[in-house]
Homo-oligomer: A and B are copies of this chain.
Amino acid sequence: MTKKAFQDYYPEHFSHCYGCGRLNEHGMQIKSYWDGEEAVCVHLPKAFHTGGAPGNVYGGLIASLIDCHSMGTAAAAKCRAENRELGNEPALRFVTASLHVNYLLPTPMGGPLEIRSRIKEIKGRKVIVESCFIAEGKVCATGEVVAVQIPEHMITVDGKK
């Protein structure tokens, strides 16, 4: 497997996120890829990432995964809309302006969790990402995230990118 994920292209200085930073050794290091028009992330939660009842996945984890995956998807979608490669400079990075999650069903622990996302809107520096959060073939939650592109001068920090 040599396929690079969206997150593998993040500038070094922006790769420390607990959810998606490849340089955060304690973090979840999620990976997102295109699957046609959808962006997909598959994540196997740790045994202790339980909700109140031990058989269910922690709701905060669900929100976190939707958030991080949506940020990566926003960057990848903006690149695609501009006909440029993800790794090209200047890097495009996004931050979350708002996160909305609807919890539809308890999410069972034990198997992989999948987030499948589509772009609802790209307008200027703003990208809106819609997601389905799936476990055991069922949509257990949905998400809508508004991502805002970080100005380039804020990505370059002390000469590091």
Residues of chain A whose beta carbon lies under 8 Å from any beta carbon of chain B: 10, 13-21, 24-27, 46, 48-54, 58-61, 63-65, 67-68, 71, 93, 95-103, 106, 157
- Which residues of the other chain, B, contact A106 by a CB distance below 8 angstroms? 95
On whether the beta carbons of B103 and A18 are closer than 8 Å, the reply is no
**Given A97-B103, A100-B99, A103-B97, A59-B50 contact (CB < 8 Å):** no
Q: Which of B19, B46, B52 is in CB contact (< 8 Å) with A17?
A: B52
A54 to B12 Cα, complex, angstroms: 11
What distance in Å separates the Cβ of A54 from its nearest Cβ neighbour in chain B?
Answer: 4
Q: How far is the CB of A68 from chain B (nearest CB, A)?
A: 7
Distance (whole angstroms) from the CB of A92 to the closest CB of chain B: 12
Contact assessment for B10 and A52 in the assembled complex, using a CB-CB cutoff below 8 Å: yes
A-B pairs with the 6 shortest C-beta distances?
A60-B64, A26-B48, A14-B52, A18-B58, A63-B63, A16-B54
CB within 8 Å for A18 and B60 given contacts A48-B24, A97-B102, A103-B97: yes
Q: Closest B-chain residue to A71, C-beta based? A: B52
In the complex, residue of chain B having the shortest beta-carbon distance to the beta carbon of A7: B52
**CB-nearest residue of chain B to A100:** B100
Contacts A50-B24, A52-B16 given: A100-B103 contact, CB under 8 Å?
A: no
- B101-A52 in contact (CB<8A): no
CB-CB under 8 A from A20, the residues of chain B are: 52
Q: From known contacts A64-B64, A98-B101, A103-B98, infer whether A93 and B59 are also in contact, taking CB-CB under 8 Å.
A: no
Cβ–Cβ contact A13 & B64, under 8 A: no
List chain B residues, Cβ under 8 A from A99: 59, 63, 99-101, 103
